[in-house]
Structure 1
Amino acid sequence: MPQSRHCLNPLPLVVFCLLLSLAARAEVTTLSSASIADIHRAMERGEITSEALVRQFLRRIEAYDDAGPGINAVLQLNPAALDEARALDAERQSSGPRSPLHGIPVALKDNIDTHDLPTTAGSFMLAGTVPLDDAFLVKRLRDAGAVIIAKLNMSEFASGGPLNSLDGLTYNPHDTSRSPAGSSGGTGAAIAAAYAMVGFGTDTGGSVRMPSSANGIVGLKPTLGLISRDGIVPLALSFDTAGPMARHVHDVATTLGVVAGVDPADPATARSEGQVHQDYTRFLDRDALQGAKLGIARDFMGADNEVDWIMESAFQTMRKAGAELVDIELPPWLLASRGDFYRTIRYREFRAQIADYLETTGPDYPKTLRALIDTAMTLPSPDSEQGYIPNPSRWQLMLKEDAGGELSDREYLAVRDHALPLLRDTIEGLMDEHGLDAIIYPTQPRRPQRIDPEPNPDSAPGSGGSPVTLANLTGFPDLIVPAGFTAGGLPVTVSFFGRAFSEPVLLGLGYAFEQRTQARRLPRTTPPLADAMRVAIE
């Protein structure tokens, strides 16, 4: 006689229902796709440790930076990273985490001071110099329990292409024939290739945002003064800022709350008093685009048809999410003069301010820009013993910087004291006139350029050039979010540019866009390892 279904063993059904329930609220992803929040929850559940996390990233660096495609994003590993991770694991067990960054691996551009690792600004002229102290933001990271896993390659003295005299070229992991952009190209490539959870670059004229765009990651150039520049090799303090770079908007927001704040050693941070938030993740809202008004700066489009098409798709996504988009026009005088304004400030400030920094290095290192140039001239050809490589394009620019003039020059003072305030007022007036929450445009109007010097066949004539210096000239924030990929697999990003200290607004808008597009992809040259660590995400 058939057994009644009511008498069947209920255990398999219970297990099935439990598994179905778990699947409904969680999925398993590789480490390279997980966010800091995913990792933090996995650590709280005891599923992974900081030591295991660091080991996994070190294995990826070994597989893809030292071997494989040879991305060459890492300049130096922290030999104490595993010991630090083990100590932080023990601390978590005994007293709990210090912050959401507890045990999280972070990588730094090599112009950010670390007391236990050299800071060279990518130059053989500073090879081996170890600062006496950490940069302010590094102290904040360490205090929060982050693990500094590596120092990263960069354009020499934070200017120029992806080449430096100390370690050569860095390559774009999406296509190694393409540039990762500069000057934080090592950070952009490292985070795209999942060598760490978050990285830091610096931005004087687009150097966080261009590598974020070229490598298809999230990057934030914050408001000038939100993050201290103390302990960072300067390029031009009127424009310089550090910025977080990560694979998720949430990770950028998490990290910003740790490092932002007033620092007496950097007078510019005084303006951030009352503007700093300890937790920027509370502004992340999937519906932030609903009711937002955004201005499209088409002055920065028209140079690359495929980039423009991806932008139009991104704009349509924003409209469907409830945003109102209007076209805006920037004044012709602004578009025509911004390059001159930028160079007038940058050349003069680098000449004076790099000398101030060089005074903090040991007695055997150059102490002025002229001394750097003289040292560079001792390397007319590659040094096979040391591995040093001439970098003539950057060193030729140093000659221009050395001849750039003084900080007392009338031209410099006119731009600093009159032109830049006028430019800020103009942008704010334009946003007020249209009632804008942000201005949007392609971060880079063209796809990542080829490393070789041949003309880029992908580019078309036209457009108002790169928009990135606009955020430096004004000191305003600019958030970069992946928007899509070209047919050849090259990333394209959109910029959310806003008023001073509007990071909460920009992060909310960027997060809402990111959640609808998920235009994030692990580079094809750096796939998950065969035994990649997996993390359950909710």
Structure 2
Amino acid sequence: MRKKYINFKALLAILLVFSILPWNHANAEIAKSTFDPFEKSIDEVTKALDTKQITSEELVKYYLKRIEAFDKQGPVINSIIAVNNQALETAKALDTERKSKGPRSKLHGIPFVVKDNFDVVGMPTTAGAVALKNENPTKNSFTVQKLIDAGAIVIAKTNMSELAASYGRLGYSSMGGLTINPYNLSRDASGSSSGSAAAVAANFAVFGLGTDTSGSVRGPANVTGLVGIRPTMGLTSRSGVVPSSLSLDVTGPLARSVEDASLVLTAMAGTDKADYATKSANRYVQDYAKALNASSLKHARIGVATDFFGGNDEVDAITNQAIAKMKSMGTEVVPVTFSKQTKYLWTPVLGPVGDAEFKIQFEKYLRSLPAGGPKTLQEVIDISESPEVLNSATPVNPARLEGLKTALAKADTLYSNEYKKIVKKEMPQTRKEIEKIMKKNNLDAIVFPTMACPASNRFDKEDPTYVCNAYDTYAASYVASATGFPEVTVPAGMVEAGVPVGISFLGTAYSEQTLLNLAYSFEQATKARTVPVHTPNLRP
């Protein structure tokens, strides 16, 4: 009897220990197994990290598993040029820091992808060019460093149109090949921030960074169902980023929601001593996400840029539905038109400025890198034309190569009267035109389809369902580029081919908060974003 009594007491003691001591731990483990990062916002991931439902290490592993499953196999989205081999160690360190000191910000432990023209220490900066495959920077770009300081984790660098210009091959580079649209494998992901857009849309990271010269954040965001921000020129830094044309270049976020894009913009914006354009940035940076207002459209007055319709019936229909929705919410809508030049700014402004500036700015960047790599545009051209590159599986796009030669030949035009006239007269004139339209009509923003046509065919694959009657599907994007004004694109619908279409909100300098409020109001009312069919959920 005594033996049975002792065993019974022991059993009770064991049960008591298991019922009290590990209860919270057991619950945490159960909760951990139920958290699914797929399509989750920054806020949702942050709360899961704070409540120990998941760790940053587990998050990194989750996204690496998705990259492995969908980027180089399965649908082969091909958005990633290189995975950061330090991401897991960084995540572990940030998990430890969270426990001992608490999070640095909402971005603490959040993985993100970076377009491969941003400098990231420990990873080459190729800008998609195989000629730059061994270029290893010694310092992070200013914007990347700001995000790292906030606790975010670079998980990978993404593919892009070579040296940020597509020349008919959107999202193709000699370093990374062709990035595919995760919504329709026969369509491209636009350019040049194609890899970042496709990666975020496919849930390879929580958000991404891109650069925008003439539409390179907005176009890719538009065709992959994302929110893309081209900030006011000078709000975000370009130092440590391979330049295309510093009169036009900006850096900006790509995310799956307006709130996420707003959070990232706040974290990455600010004055950088190495980028003179940002000298006033700190005066304008706001906590954009905190001030978002879902009822903004109720009291808004919007101008509709009718000049940028007519490229595709489905895109026009989606845009008109979006405008009708805004009207139903209380928005006043006014049609507006632009001058003949502003309707198509490539030939008179963007093209000549880009050709004039590229060589000298690109070579200055190359000289900032350690010795050993090419230091001149001519050297990059020579490597690109070498038999090794020409006979590779991914040679340089011939049209892009010709574009480099044109930039080489036109470098002297940087000092020409034509160039000075464009920069000192034409661009300010375009700014005044937009400001006058906004003021005369008392507008909060100007709205238009981000691109006149849906995502286009891959250059290497025909899709007979693609229809585009626009003289330039990106023409609307050039207005923000030429003026330096901000533009936000937000998902608005889906065409029959299964690719997303977005609408844009354009404003005057430093009107980011107004534009984000309007975009957020529209997003919350429509919930237009859908999930790509070719990169489904993988349960963690």
TM-score when scaled to structure 2?
0.90
Is the 2:297–2:329 Cα contact (8 Å) retained in structure 1?
yes
Query: Partner of 2:223: helix, strand, or coil?
Result: helix
CA distance in 2, matches of 1:173, 1:474: 32
After superposition, the Cα gap between the structure-2 partners of 1:87 and 1:478, relative to the gap in structure 1 and judged at 3 Å, is same
Deviation, structure 1 residue 245 = 0.3
Is the 2:345–2:482 Cα contact (8 Å) retained in structure 1?
no
Task: Pick the aligned partner of 1:165 from 166, 171, 174.
Answer: 174
Is residue 418 from structure 1 mapped to residue 411 from structure 2 by the alignment?
A: no
Is the 2:187–2:457 Cα contact (8 Å) retained in structure 1?
yes
* Pairing of 1:332-347 with structure 2 (within 5 A): 332-347=340-355
Task: Pick the aligned partner of 2:524 from 515, 520, 524.
Answer: 515
Is residue 183 from structure 1 mapped to residue 179 from structure 2 by the alignment?
A: no
CA distance in 2, matches of 1:423, 1:252: 27
Is the 2:200–2:256 Cα contact (8 Å) retained in structure 1?
yes
Q: What residue in structure 2 maps to residue 77 of structure 1?
A: 83
CA distance in 1, matches of 2:86, 2:387: 33
Deviation, structure 1 residue 340 = 2.0
Is the 1:303–1:462 Cα contact (8 Å) retained in structure 2?
yes
CA distance in 2, matches of 1:100, 1:341: 40
CA distance in 2, matches of 1:463, 1:427: 22
Is residue 61 from structure 1 mapped to residue 67 from structure 2 by the alignment?
A: yes
Pick which of 173-182 and 30-39 moved more.
Answer: 30-39
Pick which of 449-458 and 399-408 moved more.
Answer: 449-458
CA distance in 1, matches of 2:35, 2:384: 47
Query: Partner of 1:294: helix, strand, or coil?
Result: strand
Q: What residue in structure 1 maps to residue 51 of structure 2?
A: 45
Task: Pick the aligned partner of 1:401 from 396, 407, 422.
Answer: 407
Q: What residue in structure 2 maps to residue 280 of structure 1?
A: 288
Query: Partner of 2:510: helix, strand, or coil?
Result: coil
Deviation, structure 1 residue 460 = 4.5
Deviation, structure 1 residue 511 = 0.6
Is residue 491 from structure 1 mapped to residue 527 from structure 2 by the alignment?
A: no
Q: Which amino acid aligns with 1:153?
A: N
CA distance in 2, matches of 1:475, 1:421: 10
Is the 2:221–2:254 Cα contact (8 Å) retained in structure 1?
yes
Pick which of 279-288 and 410-419 moved more.
Answer: 279-288
Q: What residue in structure 2 maps to residue 11 of structure 1?
A: none
Task: Pick the aligned partner of 1:217 from 200, 223, 226.
Answer: 226
Offset from partner CA, 1:145-174 (integer Å, 9 cap, x none): 001100110111011121111121111111
Offset from partner CA, 1:485-530 (integer Å, 9 cap, x none): 012211000001111000000111111111111111221100001x
Is residue 430 from structure 1 mapped to residue 437 from structure 2 by the alignment?
A: yes
Deviation, structure 1 residue 383 = 4.5
Q: What residue in structure 2 maps to residue 144 of structure 1?
A: 150
Deviation, structure 1 residue 334 = 2.2
Offset from partner CA, 1:166-211 (integer Å, 9 cap, x none): 1211111111110101100001100100100010000011000000
Task: Pick the aligned partner of 1:111 from 112, 117, 142.
Answer: 117
Q: What residue in structure 1 maps to residue 383 of structure 2?
A: 375
Pick which of 200-209 and 398-407 moved more.
Answer: 398-407
Q: Which amino acid aligns with 2:93?
A: A
After superposition, the Cα gap between the structure-2 partners of 1:378 and 1:460, relative to the gap in structure 1 and judged at 3 Å, is closer
CA distance in 1, matches of 2:214, 2:471: 18
* Pairing of 1:289-308 with structure 2 (within 5 A): 289-308=297-316
Offset from partner CA, 1:424-481 (integer Å, 9 cap, x none): 0110001101101000001011010001365965324357752111111000001010
Q: What residue in structure 1 maps to residue 202 of structure 2?
A: 193
Deviation, structure 1 residue 47 = 1.1
Is the 2:327–2:333 Cα contact (8 Å) retained in structure 1?
yes
Query: Partner of 1:492: helix, strand, or coil?
Result: strand
Is residue 505 from structure 1 mapped to residue 488 from structure 2 by the alignment?
A: no
Pick which of 176-185 and 41-50 moved more.
Answer: 41-50
Is the 1:167–1:389 Cα contact (8 Å) retained in structure 2?
no
Task: Pick the aligned partner of 2:469 from 461, 471, 476.
Answer: 461
Is residue 440 from structure 1 mapped to residue 440 from structure 2 by the alignment?
A: no
CA distance in 1, matches of 2:491, 2:189: 15
Q: What residue in structure 1 maps to residue 17 of structure 2?
A: none
CA distance in 2, matches of 1:379, 1:205: 32
CA distance in 2, matches of 1:499, 1:329: 16
Is the 1:304–1:458 Cα contact (8 Å) retained in structure 2?
no
Q: Which amino acid aligns with 2:441?
A: H
Is the 1:335–1:464 Cα contact (8 Å) retained in structure 2?
no
Aligned residues: 501
Following TM superposition, the consecutive aligned residue runs of length 4 or more in structure 1 with deviations greater than 6 angstroms are none
Q: What residue in structure 2 maps to residue 322 of structure 1?
A: 330
Is the 1:479–1:497 Cα contact (8 Å) retained in structure 2?
yes
Is the 1:184–1:207 Cα contact (8 Å) retained in structure 2?
yes
Task: Pick the aligned partner of 1:240 from 237, 249, 253.
Answer: 249
Offset from partner CA, 1:230-278 (integer Å, 9 cap, x none): 100000000111100010111111111111101111000013241112x
CA distance in 1, matches of 2:464, 2:508: 34
Is the 2:35–2:48 Cα contact (8 Å) retained in structure 1?
no
Query: Partner of 1:489: helix, strand, or coil?
Result: coil
After superposition, the Cα gap between the structure-2 partners of 1:381 and 1:137, relative to the gap in structure 1 and judged at 3 Å, is closer
Task: Pick the aligned partner of 1:34 from 31, 40, 43.
Answer: 40
Deviation, structure 1 residue 360 = 1.8
After superposition, the Cα gap between the structure-2 partners of 1:47 and 1:317, relative to the gap in structure 1 and judged at 3 Å, is same
After superposition, the Cα gap between the structure-2 partners of 1:317 and 1:524, relative to the gap in structure 1 and judged at 3 Å, is same
Query: Partner of 1:285: helix, strand, or coil?
Result: coil
TM-score when scaled to structure 1?
0.90
Query: Partner of 1:289: helix, strand, or coil?
Result: helix
Q: Which structure 2 residue ranges, 5 or more long, are not aligned?
A: 1-33
Is the 1:298–1:441 Cα contact (8 Å) retained in structure 2?
yes
Deviation, structure 1 residue 30 = 4.4
Q: Which of the pair has the greater relative contact order for Cα pairs under 8 Å at 6+ separation?
A: 1
Is the 2:344–2:478 Cα contact (8 Å) retained in structure 1?
no
Q: What residue in structure 1 maps to residue 480 of structure 2?
A: 471
Deviation, structure 1 residue 351 = 1.4
Q: What RMSD, in angstroms, separates the aligned Cα atoms of the two structures? A: 1.6
After superposition, the Cα gap between the structure-2 partners of 1:45 and 1:427, relative to the gap in structure 1 and judged at 3 Å, is same
Q: Which amino acid aligns with 1:433?
A: K
Offset from partner CA, 1:36-78 (integer Å, 9 cap, x none): 0111112112211111111111111010002100111000001
